[in-house]
């Protein structure tokens, strides 16, 4: 799992409900995926902010950002989708995976609208 970002264990996310769902030693990627699936946009914003200045592991970071985007899109978490896009997730996903398709297939109109606004 991706653990290349300094400060993840010191991150103050006590106000995020997903903190109780993951162990304190859990990797950045696991925290991001959990927060995205649960729709905790503030936690996602904090997690993506930690990655801003790092260059090592960029490709792996993008993979996890896009997995999180798929999860948030499928669950209809519009604010979380926005946070992920602002944090560097690719609006068009990866390969055959297209976030808009997942949001639309689950009937999440607001999430589809967010995606269109950001260029899905």
Looking at residue 116, what is its pLDDT?
84
Average pLDDT, the chain: 76
Per-residue pLDDT reduced to its tens digit, 20-62: 555 566 777 888 898 999 999 998 998 888 755 455 577 788 8
The pLDDT assigned to 12 comes to 52
Q: Which residue, 103, 58, 55, is CA-closest to 78?
A: 103
| pTM for the structure as a whole | 0.76
Specify the pLDDT at position 103: 87
114/3: higher pLDDT = 114
- The fold of the 14-117 domain, in CATH, is 1.25.40
């Amino acid at each position: 799992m991706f653990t290349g970002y300094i400060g993840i264990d010191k991150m103050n996310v006590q106000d995020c409900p997903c903190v109780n769902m993951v162990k304190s030693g859990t990797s950045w990627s696991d925290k991001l995926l959990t927060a995205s699936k649960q729709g905790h946009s503030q936690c996602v914003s904090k997690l993506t902010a930690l990655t801003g200045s790092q260059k090592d592991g960029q490709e792996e970071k993008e993979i996890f950002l896009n997995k999180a985007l798929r999860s948030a899109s499928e669950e209809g978490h519009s604010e979380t989708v926005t946070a992920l896009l602002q944090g560097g997730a690719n609006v068009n996903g990866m390969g055959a995976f297209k976030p808009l398709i997942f949001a639309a297939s689950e009937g999440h109109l607001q999430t589809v609208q967010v995606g269109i606004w950001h260029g899905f």
